[in-house]
Amino acid sequence: METGSLKPKENEVVRARVATSFIFLVSGLGYSSWAPMVPYAKANLELSEASLGLILLIFGIGGLVAMPMTGWAVHRFGSALITTLASLSMIVFIPLLAIAPTWEVLALLLFAFGVADGALNVSMNAQSVAVESHAGKPILSSFHCLFSLGGLLGAGIMSLLLKQEMTLFASALCLFLTMAAIVLCNCRNLLPARADIQTKESHTFSLPSGRVLFYGTVCFILFLAEGSMLDWGAVFLCSAHQYDPSIAGIGYATFSVAMAIGRLTGDRLISKFGRVMIVQSGGLFAASGLFLLVTCPTGYLELVGFFLIGLGASNIVPIIFGATGKLPNISPSVALTCVITMGYTGMLLGPAFIGWIAEVTTLSFALGCVATLLFAVGLTASKIRVQTQ
C-alpha cells in the first residue's frame, strides 16, 4: 500500500485531523437539521402522509445516485476538494428547504440535498481514512462520534431557535451561516490529493472484490439496524410496551446516546483490544440488546436493550470503513463508494422490509431477524483484515 508521492508532515496530519473532525460535525448538523423542518413542510404544503413519504424517499435516492459518481471524482481529483465542494453544497440547501413554495420544488431541493449528502459521505470518509493512515493509529471512531454529536445538536439547535419564535427560514439561515464558517475555516487544512491513500495500481479503476462486498454487507446490516431503531423503535415501544406516543422517542434517544458514548471511547478500545475483538463483541452486544428489546416482558429493560444496541453497533462501521480504505489492489474511493452505498441502501430500504415482514408475521419477529443478522456480524468478525503499510 502506498500513500501519496510526498508524506505529509506531522503538524499537517494534526491539522487535517481537526479539520476532518469539524467536517464530520457539519455533516451531522446538516443531516439532522432537516428533521425539525418536516412538520412545517407537511403543514405549509398541505402534504398527505403518502405524499410526504414519497418526497422523503427522493432524498435517499439522491444520495444513492451521487455515491458512485463521487467515488470516481475522489479517485480523480482527491478527497479534500470533493469534501469541500460537497459540504458547502449540502449546507446551501438548508435555508432553501425552509422556503420551498411547492411540493415539486421541495422534491427537487431534497434530491439535490441528498446528492450533496451522499457525496459528502463518500469524500469525507475517504479523507478520514487518509488521515488515520498517516496518523498511524485508530482515530476513525472519533470522527464518527462527532457526526453523532452533530446529529444530536442539529435537530436540537433548530428546535431551540424555532421555540424562540424565529421563523423557519431565519433558523435555517443561522445554522447555515454557522456551518459555512466552520467549513471555510477548516477546508484548507484537509490533506491534499497527493496524501490520499493510493493503491500500487492507482491509475486503474477496479471493480469491487469479494472482500469489498463482504464489508458492504456488514455495513448494510448495521445501517439496517440503525434505520430500524429510528423508524420502528418508537412504534414497538407503543405497541409492545404500551408507551405513550409522546415519550416513545426515548428509545431512539437512548440508542443515540449509547452510540455517541461508544464512539467517544472507541479509538482507545480498538488500540487496546484490536479491531476483530471490537467487531465481535459489538455484534454480539447489539444482537443481545435487540433480543432483549423484543423478549423482555415488562419494566424498563427495553431501554437497556436500546442502549446495548447503540453501544455494540457504535464502532463497527468506522472499523469497516478503515479496513475498506486500506484494501490492496483497488482504489480506496471505489471500495468506500461500494461499501457506503450498500450501507446507505440498508438505511433507506431496510426499514421498509421490516414493515413487510411485520405485516406477514409480527414486528417482534421482524426485529428478531435483524438481531440474528447482527449476531452473524459478530461471528464473522475474524474475516476483517486491515492492510498495514
Confidence of residue 232 (pLDDT cuts 50, 70, 90): confident
* Digit-coded pLDDT (tens) for 144-200: 999 888 888 887 888 888 888 889 999 999 999 999 999 999 999 999 988 887 644
* Structural domains in the chain (count): 2
333-367 pLDDT, tens digit per residue, is 888 889 999 998 888 778 788 888 888 999 899 99
Mean pLDDT score of the chain: 87
Asked, for residue 5, whether it belongs to a domain, the answer is no
Could you count the other beta carbons within 10 Å of the beta carbon of residue 323?
23
Please state the rounded mean pLDDT for residues 104-122.
94
Residues 187 and 261 in one domain: no
Is 370 found in the same domain as 252? yes
Domain identity same for 187 and 218:
no
| 301 and 186 share one domain | no
Q: How confident is the model at residue 23 (pLDDT cuts 50, 70, 90)?
A: very high
| Contact predicate 83/118, CB 8 Å | no
146 and 282 housed in the same domain: no
88 located within any domain: yes
The mean pLDDT of 222-246, rounded to a whole number, is: 84
Parent domain of 378: 210-383
Say whether both 319 and 274 belong to one domain.
Answer: yes
Evaluate if pTM is beyond 0.85. Answer: no
Are 264 and 357 part of one and the same domain? yes
Q: How far apart are CA 386 and CA 389, in angstroms?
A: 10
Considering the domain boundaries, does residue 202 fall inside one?
no
Is the model's pLDDT at 35 over the cut of 80? no
| Final residue belonging to a domain, choices 130, 165, 192 | 192
Query: How many Å apart are CA 231 and CA 236, to the nearest integer?
Result: 10
CATH at residue 47? 1.20.1250.20
Residue 322 scores a pLDDT above 80: yes
Q: Is residue 2 part of a domain?
A: no
